């Protein structure tokens, strides 16, 4: 498989069911948090939504920036990467209005993200960003990128449901002193 080809297993998905939610609930109870819940949400999103690139970002509202706390492609998108998100339409929609963002084409990705060339260079042509919120405030985002035309409104609804399992981990991350969070 070449760098810009999407793995065939990334294209096979199935409907979300109660076993997926049970899997996430059990993952929350395990030690080694937040990695257990991050890995569990990633696995459920892979099976039910479909993705090639998956990241979880925490959101620091005071600094108006997001920080990558989980990634399935650390060589391309390492943890710890930060992005300022002030004054963009994406930030207003996702971080303030708590509405998912979906772009179905490479042009849509280019219009919203500075690193669009990296994504499209990997053969990715659609993106879905799910705001993770607690008490009416964004605490982070769950981000999936895949081939062009992949994501739908149904994927947004599934993403909001499974992404809600990330709220506690991201809230804790945002309220802990620097260095105390074990996200990798």
* pLDDT, tens digit (0-9, with 9 covering 90-100), for 67-84: 999 999 999 999 999 988
pLDDT recorded at residue 179: 53
31-175 CATH fold = Beta-Lactamase (3.30.450)
pLDDT > 70 in the chain, percent:
90
Note whether 183 and 69 are within 8 A (CB): yes
Please determine, for residue 97, whether its predicted confidence score (pLDDT) is greater than 80: yes
Please determine, for residue 167, whether its predicted confidence score (pLDDT) is greater than 70: yes
Asked whether the bond before 115 is cis by omega within 30 degrees of 0, the reply is no
pLDDT > 90 in the chain, percent:
82
pLDDT recorded at residue 7: 56
pLDDT recorded at residue 92: 95
- The length of the chain is 184
Average pLDDT taken over every residue of the chain:
91
63 φ/ψ angles, rounded to the nearest 5 degrees: -90, -10
Please determine, for residue 182, whether its predicted confidence score (pLDDT) is greater than 80: no
Closest listed residue to residue 58, CA positions, set 92, 76, 39, 82: 82
**Of 9-18, 36-45, 126-135, 164-173, where does mean pLDDT reach its minimum?**
9-18
Please determine, for residue 178, whether its predicted confidence score (pLDDT) is greater than 70: no
Note whether 59 and 138 are within 8 A (CB): yes
Domains of the chain by residue range: 31-175
pTM as predicted = 0.90
The residue with greater pLDDT, 87 or 172, is 172
pLDDT recorded at residue 63: 87
What is the arithmetic mean of pLDDT over 33-37? 97
What is the arithmetic mean of pLDDT over 124-147? 97
């Amino acid at each position: 498989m070449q760098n810009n080809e999407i793995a065939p297993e990334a294209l096979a998905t199935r409907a979300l069911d109660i076993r997926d939610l049970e899997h996430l609930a059990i993952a929350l109870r395990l030690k080694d948090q937040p990695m257990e819940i991050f890995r569990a949400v990633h696995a459920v999103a892979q099976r039910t939504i479909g993705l090639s690139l998956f990241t979880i970002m925490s959101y620091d509202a005071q600094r108006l920036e997001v920080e990558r706390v989980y990634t399935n492609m650390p060589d391309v998108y390492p943890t710890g990467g930060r992005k300022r998100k002030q004054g963009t339409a994406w930030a207003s929609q996702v971080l303030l209005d708590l509405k998912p963002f979906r772009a179905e084409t490479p042009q849509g990705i280019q219009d919203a993200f500075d690193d669009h060339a990296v994504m499209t260079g990997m053969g990715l042509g659609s993106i879905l960003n799910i705001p993770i919120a607690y008490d009416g405030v964004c605490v982070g985002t769950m981000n999936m990128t895949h081939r062009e035309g992949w994501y739908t409104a149904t994927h947004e609804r599934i993403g909001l449901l499974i992404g809600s399992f990330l709220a506690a981990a991201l809230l804790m991350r945002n309220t802990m002193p620097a260095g105390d969070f074990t996200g990798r």
